[in-house]
Amino acid sequence: MYNYQRTFPVDQFGNKFVQNDLGKYLDSTPEAPKDIENRKAYFVGGGIANLIGAAFLIRDAQMPGENITFLEQSDVSGGSFDGAGNNEDGFIARGGREMGQHFECFWDIMKDVPAIEMPAPHSVLDEFRKYNENDPNVSLCRIISQQATKRQGRPSMGLSKRSQFKIVKLLMAKEEKTYYKTIEDWFDKDFFESNFYTLWRSMFAFQNYQSLTEMKRYMHRFLQYLPGFPDFSCLRFSRYNQYTSFIQPLEKYLKDKGVRFEYRTTVHDLDILVSGRSFEVQGIELTREGKKDRIEVRPQDIVIVTNGSLTESTGYGDMNTPAEFKKTPGPAWSLWQNIAKKVPNCGKPDVFCSDPEKTVWQSVSFNFYGGYDNPFNQKLRELSQRDLFSGKTVTAGIITSDDSPWLCSLTVHRQPQFPGQQEGLCVAWAYGLLGWEKGTVTNKPMFECTGEEVLREFCYHFGVTDVDKVISMSKVRLATMPFITSEFTPRGEGDRPWPVPEGSKNLGFTGQFVETPDDCVFTTEGSARTAQMAVYGLLGLERDIQPIWPTQYDIRSLLHSASAMGDGKLPGEKLLRRLLKGTYYENIIPRGR
């Protein structure tokens, strides 16, 4: 496999893990591949992963923008990073992203993409940081129950000693020991009943029957965030919906460089020549604006495919119509199936897309019009303890109703979320993790409900009483996503291809179903990392991939997280204090309690 970290500092015995600090070497500009101006790149899919891949191609490989073509089945870029609508019909985003400062690959490129509001030379990163530094994210109401009469601002973790031990054991386990295991294979009832698990599964959308491997990866990757879990002070959010905040500036950057975008273009198959253990893409079979066509791919060209998609086959609904639950995998999956059938090392798509009943959930975009005349807006002001319309942080992440059958969560980001959003309109994003359960008020699964019914259920659990008034002043847009947690399906080695599969001469993969060392799925950063790896790997660029922030090896993070897991009780604290007293290191012990 291509060595993605080329300047590992190693100790005298060749141990790569002695220190994971590449310092300013990471900022170096690689030399362009010799014939770069004569090579072409085709990106199948215009989601964030491939947009970022194209930006890396231009910035780091110095490929001329005109040599790059996007083939995208829908009529906009962004894929899952969507955001649309208007004041009349209401606005919609299928997802809203919890983000952080340690999205190393993502920020590595976003630091060079011009900002949307700040003047040159500022970047998307500068803008994001400015908003978050001046308006930090702290939730004042994280969990509610009994129709919001009970509220917890900074809930305790409530983990028993046994559960804490199980978490540590999971961290210590070799990853291969977790393959094809589920979370419920590992943990016991008391873990599932803890506040920690409510916080965890509502925040990351894990089901008990999903992958232990991914659970383990999340624990390593986000260890430093545990102290900020209960009040979300570990999170960062963009100023606007993420289509506006990220896709638009990135797409503009690419278009300004001459990149071509072909929308309404669906790729069905790749013509691949397999010889021995290597293979090469020679053609792209597609339908463009309804017409079948083929693109010839030369040996020096590269093809980068986003295989699989969390939001493929989304069904939409509104106030009066339930969202259709489409169970057939669309082109994002069938293309991957076609490739995997004929080429080795390209993964096993059926592991992820075969059981949509287990991987589906529904997201809801609530449009609450009428300012504080709308009782739902009043309730949100009361719960968040903030003005909805100040332009600043409101709920600071989801509020979860932990006794609602659907496990309802709702968040209000900075308003307006959409440019042009009218005054007094609050756009909230919500979801139900357990959509198959029967609702308290609706008495049916979330997937069978109209927008109005979903709103009634949320009104009940959020303690809003004047429901008819809310309904008359609101619009609801639903999105049922059959594969939204397919990336958490229990899996093992080889189920996901590497960004550049063994034997590939010119084919790369990006997105949520691609293997990376240690990084996590269901994150923007995961997609960005695969993009950087695919581009650098295919072109052999002499630049290191940004390593994952090595917090799991940092004794300070480990101590703080251990203390957070025990609600301020650090195992062995007395002994540690005695040992470190009067030494240089005495202050690394958390001052918690």
**Interface residues toward ligand FAD, by CB under 6 A:** 44-50, 71-74, 79-81, 94-95, 97-99, 266-267, 306, 309-311, 331-332, 335, 363, 484, 511-512, 522-524, 527
Helix axes 212-221, 161-172, angle to 10 degrees: 90
β partners of residue 410: 399, 430
CB of residue 99 to ligand FAD, shortest distance in Å: 6
The burial class, CB within 10 Å (0-12 / 13-18 / 19+), for 293 is: exposed
Distance CA 525, CA 586 (A): 35
Residue 77 or 377 having the CB closest to ligand FAD: 77
Cβ atoms 199, 155 nearer than 8 A: yes
* Residue with Cβ nearer ligand FAD (157 or 521): 521
Q: Does residue 193 carry a catalytic annotation? A: no
Residue closer to ligand FAD (CB basis): 324 or 567: 324
Closest CB to ligand FAD among residues 250, 380? 250
Of 193, 201, 199, nearest to 162 by C-alpha is 193
Cα 511 to Cα 306: distance, rounded to the nearest angstrom = 5
The torsion angle over the Cα atoms of residues 193, 199, 202 and 204, rounded to 10 degrees, is -120
The Cα 516–Cα 451 span in angstroms is: 38
Helix H or strand E encompassing 86: strand 84-86
Please, what is the minimum distance in Å from the beta carbon of residue 376 to ligand FAD?
Answer: 21
Say how many Å lie between the first and final Cα of the chain, rounded.
Answer: 48
**Residue of 4, 72, 98, 251 marked catalytic:** 98
C-alpha dist (Å) from residue 461 to 140, 466, 471? 18, 13, 15
Torsion of CA 9, 15, 17, 21, to 10 degrees: -10
**Residue 97 main-chain phi, psi, to 5 deg:** -100, 125
The residue (of 95 and 405) whose beta carbon lies closer to ligand FAD is 95
Using alpha carbons, list the distances in angstroms from residue 132 to 24, 417, 435: 25, 15, 33
Question: Would you say 331 or 497 has its CB closer to ligand FAD?
Answer: 331
Report, in Å, the least distance between residue 47 CB and ligand FAD. 2
Helix (H, G, I), strand (E, B) or coil at 128: helix
Helices (H) and strands (E) in the chain, counts: 19, 18
Contact 246, 238 (CB under 8 A): yes
**Cβ of residue 469: shortest distance to ligand FAD, in angstroms?**
29
DSSP 468-501: HHHHHTEEEEEEEETTTTGGGS---TTSS--SS-
Q: Which residue lies nearer to ligand FAD by CB, 163 or 224?
A: 224
CA distance 562 to 571: 8
Minimum Å gap between C-beta 332 and ligand FAD is 3
Encoding tokens for residue 221? 């990757």
For the CB of residue 284, give the shortest distance to ligand FAD in the complex, in Å: 10
CB of 43 to ligand FAD, least distance (A): 9
Nearer to ligand FAD (CB atom), residue 81 or residue 366: 81
Beta carbon nearer to ligand FAD, 238 or 450: 238
CB of 241 to ligand FAD, least distance (A): 12
> Residue 39: CA atoms inside 13 Å, Cβ hemisphere, count?
21
Rounded to a whole number of angstroms, the minimum distance from the CB of residue 450 to ligand FAD is 20
* Residue 523 C-beta: closest distance to ligand FAD, Å: 4
Say whether 312 is catalytic.
no
Written as six digits, the tokens of 129 are 């940081």
Which residue of the set 197, 218, 243, 431 is catalytic?
218
| Pick 187 or 513: Cβ nearer ligand FAD | 513
Whose tokens are 């170096």? That residue is 28
The answer, yes or no, to whether the previous bond of 356 is cis (omega within 30 of 0) is no
CA nearest to 477, candidates 439, 431, 415, 433: 431
CB of 28 to ligand FAD, least distance (A): 26
Give the up-direction half-sphere exposure of residue 482: CA atoms within 13 A in the CB hemisphere: 21
Q: Measured between alpha carbons, how far is 245 from 257 in angstroms, rounded to an integer?
A: 19
Q: Which is nearer to ligand FAD, 365 or 552 (CB)?
A: 365
Active site residues: 98, 218
